[in-house]
Structure 1
Amino acid sequence: MVNQLYYGDNLEVLRRYIKDESVDLCYIDPPFNSKRNYNQIYNNIGAEDKAQAQAFIDTWEWDDHAIHGINEILINYHGLFTQQCIALITGLSNVLGKGSLLAYLVSMTLRITEIHRVLKPTGSFYLHCDPTASHYLKLILDAVFCSQRGNYINEIIWCYETGGRSNNFYPRKHDTIFYYCKSSNRLFNDNLVRLKRDTSTMHEPVLEDEFGHKYQRNVKNGKEYRYYLDKGVLPNDWWIDIQALNPSAKERLGYPTQKPESLLERIIKASSKENDIVLDAYCGCGTTVAVCQKLDRQWIGIDITYQSISLILKRLEDSFPGVLKTIKLHGIPKDIESARALANKTDDRTRKEFEKWAILTYTNNKAVINAKKGADKGIDGIVYFQGDKNDPEKIIFQVKSGKVKSGDIRDLLGTMTLESASLAIFITLEEPTKDMLKTAKSAGFYQSKYMSHSCDKIQIVTIKEIIEDQQRLNIRLSYEVLKSAEKQKEVRVNQIELDI
């Protein structure tokens, strides 16, 4: 199988493209904002905290998507849902009411059901969450897996010390990882994840067996137990040996919920083998796929935001030069028609995705995206470059997918003044008019000692130029939004494939 990266809604991707019983291991770390007060979530009061970070979308509101989702479950769409799932969601609806928490649980039920479908009979599933809704998620996992001859294996508590500490309650310093399997015939490579045995609390002498292996001996109720020191010991279901990434960690890329590679290495080594297929349906900054690449697993990654897709591509290319030629990309615009389709999506969750894709593609993933819905002051993205006084100067971006006119350029010039921007770039899906080009030229030129030649203060770039001519921002920037990942190994194989 060619490694696959999908840009789109993971529910749609799972249903349309991932075959039954084709995946060996699935790990997901879905976004959920645990910073809100639990009582606010439970009672659905208070203002919703939109978008945990600019890198992903908080999609859980009681809206048309949630209503459509719960109806699919209650009518048992295509016979996908177990009776236990239907009864559970019915009960939760009565208890919680129609609000953000129920919308979240409906969303997770839809996707966990599809993940169960695509897992092989020997497959394993790890769901990474936090205590905010973990108790509800376990009910859903039981309803999907245990009702279909699957098994609950572990609740893993991942403990860490990073982050702030409160004096008003016990510091919240753990995540929850649920581990389930589709059947009792699961893979578990215990010898690949064992830790060095701690002998500091054992007072028995170190002995050697007939093969020269060192062990300590313990006798309980007349029965002898041997603890071999070279074999090590399996981690408990509370993991304190892997820390969350602190802000200065060498591994950190700048993604807000990035998980350490060592965490994923343990999971992937334990529950898969080389060339097995690993799925991450919320792949975020790509830790799962990067670890799979390093450990010679095949992988499928899915994410709904282009910021994540762009970051994953950058991370893979930084870590494994040449690897992009070996993977297949789905859903990324490759021509004007597919770009127009992205621009015309009516789903509010992806309303700004066309803007993100256009800006990040044009800047090679170096722009800061304005993720606010509405009231964006006409700015969709920003980058910084070094000016004559060695201070960072600003370039602002505006993206339009509909009809454009010269008044748009005049408005952009006013925004430049308000934002003290030195340059502005207007990206348009439609061809600019002659008056637009004339108005842009009238804004004048910009020249600095760091530029070999002057450039227009307002530049108009078309989507056609970005796609067909591969036109990109040609200004040396002074500020990188994301750090580069460490190079690990070079990959040389076939050509990259794009599929929309």
Structure 2
Amino acid sequence: MPRKSGTGKWLNKLYYGDNLEVLREHIPSESIDLIYLDPPFNSAKSYNVLFKEKSGNEAQAQIEAFDDTWTWSHDAEALFAELMQGGASNKVKDALEALRKLLGDNDVLAYLVMMTARLVELHRVLKSSGSLVLHCDPTASHYLKVILDAIFGADRFLNEIIWRRAAVKGDARNRFGRNHDVLLFYAAGSNPTFNRLTSEHGPEYRARFRFDDGDGRGPYRDGPLDSPSPRPNLTYVYKGYPPPKNGWRVSIEEMERLDAENRLMFPKKSDARIARKLYLQEQPGVPMGDVWSDIPPINSQAAERLGYPTQKPLSLLERVVSAASNPGDLVLDPFAGCGTAIDAAQKLGRRWAGIDVTTLAVDLIDARLRHTYGEAIRETYEILGIPRDLAGAQALFKRSPFEFERWCVMTIDGQPNDKQVADKGIDGVIRFPIDAKGNSDRVLVSVKGGATNPSHVRDLVGTVQSQRAAMGVFICMQKPTKAMVEAANHSGLYAHPGNNQKYPKVQLITVQELLDDKRPTLPPVLLPYFQAQPRVKKSEQGTLNFFGA
């Protein structure tokens, strides 16, 4: 049974973790109505680099979007063997073997192997009435379609949707410009949920509606009332107008109703034909096809822009969710990213679950939802997989020191570094307003999960001074020594320019204190990613459990 809140209401789910593990361990079969996924594939890199052969001695290519996941390695080889030894159907095995012969052991094959394992699980969790939409680009869409055909069956393929995401640039000299993405649409069963969508008519069609009575019903045009085939029983005279040769299209009762509603157009000549008023606002739209050119990409000035490199327009995801699910249905995004699919599901009254492998994405989605729908939204979903105790924090540090640093920074409402780079000991920044004009100042955050000493604190004090930041916060796993405390105490005080309130220049806080909901003493801070409103303290986060008692 789905896990619910104490009041019995459904709680949406936001996971931090590897989606393959979450799918296998926590999501039951036939429980999801719609899956949308936009897996990372950085085709902006050199195509030749992606297809470069891998040997045991050769360094892996630096493909940033894959974050070392989509490189041919021992892990990829092990997953390939797992699929071949029983983790997939014979058709899937045949497809993988053929692709390996075709491509060789390279990063594209690693991507396809990693995706195959996940697509097998995604197919398992779909209801028979459910569907999957895989968003990709033409670099790998043809390979992914082969895999999807093998998993779902070629007869379950519904559409290859083309989204024109940008105008053609002038730098394509020996080929046509690449300016579209591909959405592969598959059904789990023979009768998938699908809501027919329409688009607006073009200007030529709308120009036909040239009459307007000024009664609020808008423009209209004349429509025929004569029957295209003989209707002897409808050959009546109406208000002195003789019937057409084949008779009327409607009964006299319907004609009287149209007349009473002022929906008839009477000609001046008695031998001319009565027509009916066809209002533009009452006409069905144009049935939507599989080429979408009416949704622009996120540009640098877009209000919804978050700065996430692969962010898709909300309107695009609204279209997908509207077409392939109904209100109350459960939508899953296993590569949640900045949460656009989750936002669309929330806006359209669907239940949802999102998974992402980075704490940065999880925190961004949390911030996005609270910014868009208000703090009350936080009571409708739980964040799973984030540490709740010291053992969990230590496990996260052991698994990924970088993700541990990110988690610590986000816990105190800071924005962590996007990449693991030479940061001079600074792992994130907190911003807070200093006046009513939109100006802000910074708090530099340094995180240490291992051994610490007074020099680390003194380094932070020096960096705060050299970078002219307002304050600094030092987060450590271990309890700080007396010398570390003295180094922080000697940093001095910061006076807020707005009210002259004093704050310690550098503050120390342990991971255990963060878990106990203690926070550094700071002015009201700005919400990371959305620099427009103060951010309140996060409520307690749940344990890793999708469906359970």
TM-score by length of 2: 0.76
Counterpart of 1:359 in structure 2 is 409
Q: Specify which of 87, 96, 105 is matched with residue 112 of structure 2.
A: 105
Counterpart of 2:424 in structure 1 is 377
Larger deviation, residues 308-317 vs 106-115: 308-317
Counterpart of 2:78 in structure 1 is 68
Between the aligned partners of 1:394 and 1:251, the Cα distance in structure 2 is 24
Between the aligned partners of 1:41 and 1:447, the Cα distance in structure 2 is 53
Is it true that 1:195 corresponds to 2:199 in the alignment?
yes
Cα distance, 1:438–1:130 mapped onto 2, change above 3 Å? same
Is the Cα–Cα contact under 8 Å of residues 57 and 305 in structure 1 kept in the other structure?
Answer: no
C-alpha displacement at 1:403, in angstroms? 2.4
Higher Rg: 2
How does 1:395-474 map onto structure 2 within 5 Å? 395-416=443-464, 419=467, 421-450=469-498, 452-471=500-519, 474=522
Q: Specify which of 135, 141, 146 is matched with residue 128 of structure 1.
A: 135
How does 1:210-359 map onto structure 2 within 5 Å? 210=250, 230-321=283-374, 322-345=376-399, 350-359=400-409
Give the residue type in structure 2 aligned to 1:315. Answer: R
Between the aligned partners of 2:335 and 2:292, the Cα distance in structure 1 is 22
- Please give the secondary structure, in 2, of the residue aligned with 1:443: coil
Between the aligned partners of 1:11 and 1:409, the Cα distance in structure 2 is 39
Give the residue type in structure 2 aligned to 1:3. Answer: N
Is the Cα–Cα contact under 8 Å of residues 447 and 455 in structure 1 kept in the other structure?
Answer: yes
Q: Percent identity, aligned pairs only?
A: 38
Is the Cα–Cα contact under 8 Å of residues 368 and 382 in structure 1 kept in the other structure?
Answer: yes
Is the Cα–Cα contact under 8 Å of residues 503 and 521 in structure 2 kept in the other structure?
Answer: no
Is the Cα–Cα contact under 8 Å of residues 122 and 186 in structure 1 kept in the other structure?
Answer: yes
C-alpha displacement at 1:206, in angstroms? 5.6
Q: Specify which of 26, 32, 35 is matched with residue 23 of structure 1.
A: 32
Deviations 1:28-87 (CA, angstroms, capped at 9, x unpaired): 0112111112122122599844434xxx9463122343222212112123xxx1112212
Structure 1 alignment gaps of length 5 or more? 215-227, 486-494
Between the aligned partners of 1:324 and 1:202, the Cα distance in structure 2 is 44
C-alpha displacement at 1:285, in angstroms? 1.2
- Please give the secondary structure, in 2, of the residue aligned with 1:76: helix
Give the residue type in structure 2 aligned to 1:171. Answer: G
Is the Cα–Cα contact under 8 Å of residues 370 and 376 in structure 1 kept in the other structure?
Answer: no
Give the residue type in structure 1 aligned to 2:204. Answer: S
Between the aligned partners of 1:182 and 1:247, the Cα distance in structure 2 is 38
Give the residue type in structure 1 aligned to 2:156. Answer: N
Between the aligned partners of 1:335 and 1:151, the Cα distance in structure 2 is 45
C-alpha displacement at 1:95, in angstroms? 2.9
Cα distance, 1:403–1:443 mapped onto 2, change above 3 Å? same
Is the Cα–Cα contact under 8 Å of residues 29 and 124 in structure 2 kept in the other structure?
Answer: yes
Counterpart of 1:218 in structure 2 is none
Between the aligned partners of 1:203 and 1:293, the Cα distance in structure 2 is 37
Larger deviation, residues 164-173 vs 311-320: 164-173
C-alpha displacement at 1:497, in angstroms? 6.1
- Please give the secondary structure, in 2, of the residue aligned with 1:156: strand
Give the residue type in structure 1 aligned to 2:311. Answer: Q
Cα distance, 1:412–1:319 mapped onto 2, change above 3 Å? closer
- Please give the secondary structure, in 2, of the residue aligned with 1:475: coil
Between the aligned partners of 2:369 and 2:525, the Cα distance in structure 1 is 22
C-alpha displacement at 1:173, in angstroms? 1.5
How does 1:77-88 map onto structure 2 within 5 Å? 77=87, 81-88=88-95
- Report the count of equivalent residues: 460
Deviations 1:313-366 (CA, angstroms, capped at 9, x unpaired): 111122222111121221122222322222222xxxx44111111101112xx4
Counterpart of 1:177 in structure 2 is 183
Deviations 1:397-455 (CA, angstroms, capped at 9, x unpaired): 22111222223223434544665545332111211111111122233333352363333
- Please give the secondary structure, in 2, of the residue aligned with 1:75: helix
Cα distance, 1:455–1:165 mapped onto 2, change above 3 Å? farther
Give the residue type in structure 2 aligned to 1:177. Answer: L
Q: What is the alpha-carbon root mean square deviation over aligned residues?
A: 3.2
- Please give the secondary structure, in 2, of the residue aligned with 1:244: coil
Between the aligned partners of 2:124 and 2:114, the Cα distance in structure 1 is 16
- Please give the secondary structure, in 1, of the residue aligned with 2:287: coil
- Please give the secondary structure, in 2, of the residue aligned with 1:34: coil
Cα distance, 1:391–1:270 mapped onto 2, change above 3 Å? closer
Between the aligned partners of 2:447 and 2:286, the Cα distance in structure 1 is 56
Deviations 1:185-234 (CA, angstroms, capped at 9, x unpaired): 111111xx21134472799996256477x9xxxxxxxxxxxxx9722222
Counterpart of 2:162 in structure 1 is 157
Is the Cα–Cα contact under 8 Å of residues 162 and 244 in structure 1 kept in the other structure?
Answer: no
Between the aligned partners of 1:143 and 1:387, the Cα distance in structure 2 is 58
Is the Cα–Cα contact under 8 Å of residues 444 and 471 in structure 2 kept in the other structure?
Answer: yes
- Please give the secondary structure, in 2, of the residue aligned with 1:246: coil
TM-score by length of 1: 0.83
Counterpart of 2:3 in structure 1 is none
Is the Cα–Cα contact under 8 Å of residues 43 and 96 in structure 1 kept in the other structure?
Answer: no
Between the aligned partners of 1:484 and 1:165, the Cα distance in structure 2 is 37
Is the Cα–Cα contact under 8 Å of residues 406 and 416 in structure 2 kept in the other structure?
Answer: no
Cα distance, 1:69–1:351 mapped onto 2, change above 3 Å? farther
Is the Cα–Cα contact under 8 Å of residues 194 and 233 in structure 1 kept in the other structure?
Answer: yes
Between the aligned partners of 1:199 and 1:392, the Cα distance in structure 2 is 48
Give the residue type in structure 2 aligned to 1:68. Answer: A
Cα distance, 1:361–1:478 mapped onto 2, change above 3 Å? closer
Structure 2 alignment gaps of length 5 or more? 1-9, 209-220, 226-249, 264-279, 534-538, 545-549
